[in-house]
Amino acid sequence: MAPQSTNSSDARSDDPAPGQTSTSGGSSPSTRNEVLDLASTLRSAMRSGVHMIRLMDEGFELTTSQLATLNSLREGPLNITLLTRLKAVSQPTMSQHVSRLEKLGYVERAVSPDDARITLITLTGEGRAIANHNDTARDRALAEVLQKLDAKDRRALQDGLEVLKRTAQEFISPRRDH
């Protein structure tokens, strides 16, 4: 059973919110409601997952935020503005965060070759190694929890996560260079 919606308005309208366009593509109201329910369930599940991971992270060398920042840089350099958006923190907070990681030797700042006004943050070899080490330790801790699932639930979770990852990457990819 899907969790109750935590939205401030449980009334679902076929009309888009002000400033938004409809993405329903002419689908029926029941389909739109199913998709909205799925969106609500996804947000709730992700929030619970983040809380679980943060509780597992106690005692590790890097904080959850530090590791998340390093992992965001695995696919290539990002500007501070996008890191700020990805981590949902203020620009000064992210600048301080990056400065700490830079002092540890895990990231480097460089001027963008395309626009000298933009500073790109790059993962160093040492940053990649420490992120790999921390990810492996966290994977082991998470595997202990997942081991309690039966094979059918593990397969269902794997299938759902593959769809989630693909959907998230398709959403994020065009925003990486902005």
Q: What's the pLDDT tens digit per position in 18-59?
A: 444 445 456 787 899 999 999 999 999 999 998 888 888 777
* Phi, psi dihedrals of residue 62, rounded to the nearest 5°: -105, 145
Can you give the pTM of this predicted structure?
0.64
Specify whether the CB–CB gap between 70 and 130 falls below 8 A.
yes
**Contact between residue 95 and residue 38 where contact means Cβ atoms under 8 Å apart:** no
Residue 6 domain-assigned? no
Asked if the structure places residue 4 within a domain, the reply is no
- Only one residue has tokens 């620009």, namely 91
Q: Is residue 162 part of a domain?
A: no
Residue 42: which CATH number? 1.10.10.10
- The total number of structural domains in the chain stands at 1
What is the per-residue pLDDT across 54-104, written as a single tens digit (0 to 9) for each?
A: 888 777 778 888 888 999 999 899 999 999 998 889 999 999 999 999 999
Residue 79 belongs to what domain range? 37-147
89 in any annotated domain: yes
131 assigned to some structural domain: yes
Is residue 2 a part of any domain in this protein? no
> Does residue 108 belong to any structural domain of this protein?
yes
| Euclidean distance between the first and the last CA atom of the chain, given in angstroms as a whole number | 39
Q: Between the CA atoms of 35, 36, 41 and 46, what dihedral angle is there, to the nearest 10 degrees?
A: 90
- Give per-residue pLDDT as tens, 95-149: 999 999 999 999 999 998 989 998 899 999 999 999 999 889 889 989 999 999 9
**Contact call for residues 70 and 62 (beta carbons, < 8 A):** yes
- Whether 164 is in a domain gets the answer no
Give the dihedral of Cα atoms 159, 53, 38, 168; nearest 10 deg. -70
Structure-block tokens of residue 28: 């029926």
